[in-house]
Structure formats: structure tokens, C-alpha cells
Amino acid sequence: FLSYSNTRADNWRGAGYDTRQHIDAKLLNEWGAGNRASLALSYNDANSSSYPSPTLAEWTAQGRGFNYDKRYTAGSTNYWRLYRAPFRNLYASAPVHLVLNDRLALDTTTYLQFGYGNSPYGTQLTTEGNFLGTEELAQPIALPGAVDGVATVLGNYTGDQMRTGNVSKLTFRTGAHTLTAGLWFDYGTDRVTQSYTSIDADGQPTDRWGYRAEAIRTADGRLLAYENQRTVTVTKGFFVADSIALTPRLTIDAGFKGVNVVRNGRNYLPGPQDKVRNDSFAALPRAAIHYRIDDRQQLFANITTNFRTPNEFTLYNSYYGGEVVVQGTNALKNEYSVSQEIGYRFIGEQLSASVTGFHYKFRNRQLATVLDQGGAQVNATLNAGGQTSYGVDAEIDYRPVAGVSLYLSGEYLRARIDDDLPVGADFLPTRGKHAVSSPTVQFGAGGIYDDGRFFGSVASKYIGRQYASFMNDERIKGYATLDLSVGMHLADWLDGKRTDLRVNAINVTDPHVLAGVQSVSTNAQDTIGRNGTVIAGAPPAYYIGSGAAVMATISRAF
């Protein structure tokens, strides 16, 4: 198949718009008794606007009016065109399934990905007093449009990425056993550059992609950059597993995966750091048990392990004013988690329900956040130490008559920080505090109706309060959303091919809320550490909840 889409959409708040072109294609060949091979391609070319994320004080003062400027003012860095992120990527995969005999099968998938993008921002440069890493630039730099030695420019944060790899496994069935063994290899490169591009008198960047050939240079022709590094990541893994059907009702699964991640990098900025390296291994056992009480009821339990490496950028020094302001390190440890779940599932003609209890234990919790790197908003991770989480998930689906379905779901989560958090030479008293971005309760409810001609749905969700700092000295309130949808099947009125007209009303109550934490903080207020140091607070930043929208679509099967 081959599909193409072209999208243009105005920003839901503030000035600007997004564009996106997307292509998907797939070739499939099947032969013999279950053999198949395919090639899938996906291409994406997007130009997406970023939205500024307010602090709590900024949200209180401006609400949804906290946006980038619609028109450019000379000297301002707040113009919306300086915050549009272009990105292109191509992904190809070639999965193959071969039935070698009635007991043995081979599955192998080779993949390849290329990507290049820029996450820009507005900033200012001066013609003099600049540094490249730790080297002071003796000669002034040429800045188009500079006034009194100062120019507004586009700060670039570009990533040029390539990944390729293969996952292969053999599956062997004998008696009550289904044995699996496989290998995984992945090779990736990531070239990250934080450079600068000039803008014209109307605030339009001369090159929105941030290509090095168009970027601002030093007087001797070198690239003026806040960051300039290349990382090569090689991942090698193996896995074995056995699924044992002890009885027609009882199945036990056991497995083990080992993963080795090696990162080699180079920092191209002048300074004390050149090459960096990190080598880590994770051992990941797992086990599960499944018992079928009868045709409708099941019991299940599992224990799994997982890991996550620290962000690659933690390896590198960061410089400001010729000094090392962040010391790169290869001593950070991988996040390692152990998860246990136990549950019950019922599947009936009119009623389906499940309840699951869970317990998660984390070491060196890698918490996703956004950091300011010289003006660029960079996705990163913070080591939050140990964390223990447990709770219950439950859901129920009731189908009283044909074409009608009602559902209800909920979750209770208790997530606590296990350790005091090191900050400088002191420790914040965070042990026992709520984990950030972890609502204690969540609920969902809704219904679906379809009589063959008309259809519709209603969906509501409540998300409880969320803490935004490790000290729990700032949080956002819980909030609820409501979505509605109505439509009509038009096939009987046309040529019999499925054709649907649908109207969606999204977030119909239009609550003005903060929907999540964009950038966490260790402490929002000044706090005295365990050793008596006053640790300065920094305000977290938040995502603004989207507004109400109505969308009409028509779809047709060919």
C-alpha cells in the first residue's frame, strides 16, 4: 500500500501554524506455509511550533495569554517564527518470518532510520566578548543587523541522527515448551550542534534548519557554537525465554535478556574535554504465570525487570563565559526497575472486567524533563534516586444491548521518593516525598453507541493533582476533560462501501488548567539542606491544557 497526507493547522493558542507531510508504504510477499517478507517505509517532513511553558506565577498572571509574539519587534527574542522546529526523518524496516519446519521458525527484522531536525529559539549575541568552549575569541564576530554590538539571532539546536540494527530470534516448539532465543544489535550516531543563524529585519531566519554552512562563524572561520558533539551508541543484546504449558489451564513463562550499551563521543569545543566513553550492562530476568479458571475467568501474575540509560548529554561538559559550568561524567548509573503485578480478568458476553495490583521499585530513577541548555529547551533526564510505587488499576466494560457499551476505569498510585537528593555538596530532604508528575488518582468513564446508521461516543477523564518539585513545595490541581463524538454511516445511501461522517467535540468544557509538568525542579522555594546549606529554589514550568475544539471528518474505504 501507499498513503500520503498533507496537513496544515493553526496553533490552538498564540500565533503560528504547523505543517506536515507524511508518506507510508509497504510491500508484502507471502509464500509456502506461513512464510512472509515485507518492506515498510515511512517518511515525515514536519514544521512544528513550540509553545512557551509558564511557571505558576506566569500562569496566574497571564493564563492562556502566555504566548510568543505575533509580530516581530526589533531586539525581541519572543517572536513565534524563532520557535518553529523543522524535522525530517525516514524509517525503513524489513521483517521476515520463515517457517523452517513444523517446530522451528525464524523471525528477523532489519531497520534503518535517518533523521535531521532543529529545535530553535530566539536569543541575542554580541560582536565582542564571546567564547568558544573555554577559548576567548580575540577578534569580534560579524553579526548582520547588529545595533551597538548586539544582534537578535536564531539559536539552533540541531540533531543529525542515524540508526540501523537487526533483531533476530528462533522459536522452537517441543512438547509443552515454546523456546525462544535471539540477538539484537543496534548502531546509532547522533551529531548535536548548538549554533546561531542570523535573521532579517522582519524576524525571519535566513535558515530555519540550522545548517552549519549557513551559521554564524568566528573571525577565523570556525563555527560559533555553544555545543558541538558527536555520539556513537552501540547496543548489543541477547535473550532467551521458555513458555511452559504445564496443563491446559496453567502456563508459566520465564526469560532472561542481557543488554550492553557502549557510548563513544567527542566534544569538538576547545576545552579540557575531548573524547568520552561509557560502557554499561543490564541483566533483565522476568517470569510470569497465567491460570485460566474457566472460559471466562483468568488469574495472572508477573515479575519483570527493565533499565534505562542516562541521557547521552550527561557525558559532556557545558561551558559558559569560558568556564566549565556543568561537568560531564560517565559515572552516572542506569535506571533499574523491578516490577510485580498480580491480577484477575473476567470476559463475559455482556461484562468484561479486570483488576491489577502493581508494585514498582526503581534504582537511579531517570526522570524525563526539559532543561535549558544555553537557551535551547532540551529533552533530558534527571537522576531522581530511588523510588517505590504501588497501586491498583481497575476497569469494567458493560454491554447491555447490541451497539451500546459503557466503561469505567480507575487507578490509585502511591509513588514515593526513597532517597535524599544530592544538590551540590548538600542533600535535599526528599526522602518520603511524593514522586513528581505522579497523580495519586485517575478515573475515566464513557460510552459508545452504534445502531448501524448513527453512532456516537462520550469520554471523560479525571487526573489528580501532580507535584512539580522533589520537595513537594509546588503542585498543580487535578482536572477533568470531556470529549463527545457523533456520526453517521453513509454506505447504504451511496454505493455500499464504508463511508462515515463524524463530528468530534474535544474538551467541550474548555477548562483553563495546567495539564502537566514540563520542567521539574528540585525545590521551588529556598530550602535548607541536610547539612545546613541554603539551596536556592527554582520554579518549575508547566504544560497548558489544550482548549476546546470541534472537528468534522469524512472517511471512505476503497
pTM score, two decimals?
A: 0.89
Contact between 83 and 122 (Cβ < 8 Å): yes
Coil, helix or strand for 80? helix
Mean pLDDT of the chain: 93
pLDDT over 70 at 200, yes or no: yes
> According to the model, what pLDDT value does residue 380 have?
59
Nearest CA-CA partner of 364 in 309, 432, 437, 427 = 309
Give CA–CA dist 342/538, Å, rounded: 40
> According to the model, what pLDDT value does residue 493 have?
76
What pLDDT, in 10s, does the model give residues 71-119? Answer: 999 999 999 999 999 999 999 999 999 999 999 999 999 999 999 999 9
pLDDT over 70 at 347, yes or no: yes
Residue 71 main-chain phi, psi, to 5 deg: -125, 150
CA distances from 496 to 63, 403, 541, 557, 558 (A): 49, 20, 52, 10, 11
| Span 390-394, average pLDDT | 98
Most confident of 207-216, 254-263, 418-427: 254-263
CA distances from 341 to 289, 301, 412, 442 (A): 10, 5, 14, 19
| Span 389-402, average pLDDT | 97
| Span 348-368, average pLDDT | 92
| pLDDT bucket at 328, cuts 50 / 70 / 90 | confident
Q: Using H for helix, E for strand and C for coil, what is the string for 359-425?
A: EEEEECCEEEEEEEECCEEEEEEEECCCEEEEEEEEEEEECCCCCEEEEEEEEEEEEEECCCEEECC
Contact between 98 and 38 (Cβ < 8 Å): no
Residue 415 main-chain phi, psi, to 5 deg: -125, 120
| Span 296-320, average pLDDT | 94
pLDDT over 90 at 130, yes or no: yes
Give CA–CA dist 46/159, Å, rounded: 15
> According to the model, what pLDDT value does residue 109 have?
98
| Span 55-80, average pLDDT | 95
Nearest CA-CA partner of 189 in 87, 259, 115, 85 = 115
| pLDDT bucket at 383, cuts 50 / 70 / 90 | confident
Give CA–CA dist 194/198, Å, rounded: 14
Give CA–CA dist 422/295, Å, rounded: 53
Nearest CA-CA partner of 463 in 475, 472, 473 = 475
The total of other beta-carbon atoms located within 10 Å of residue 514's CB is 21
What pLDDT, in 10s, does the model give residues 222-274? Answer: 999 999 999 999 999 999 999 999 999 999 999 999 999 999 999 999 999 99
| Span 185-214, average pLDDT | 95
> According to the model, what pLDDT value does residue 391 have?
98
> According to the model, what pLDDT value does residue 370 have?
57
CA dihedral over 29, 35, 39, 40, signed as positive or negative? positive
pLDDT over 70 at 379, yes or no: no
pLDDT over 80 at 429, yes or no: yes
pLDDT over 80 at 374, yes or no: no
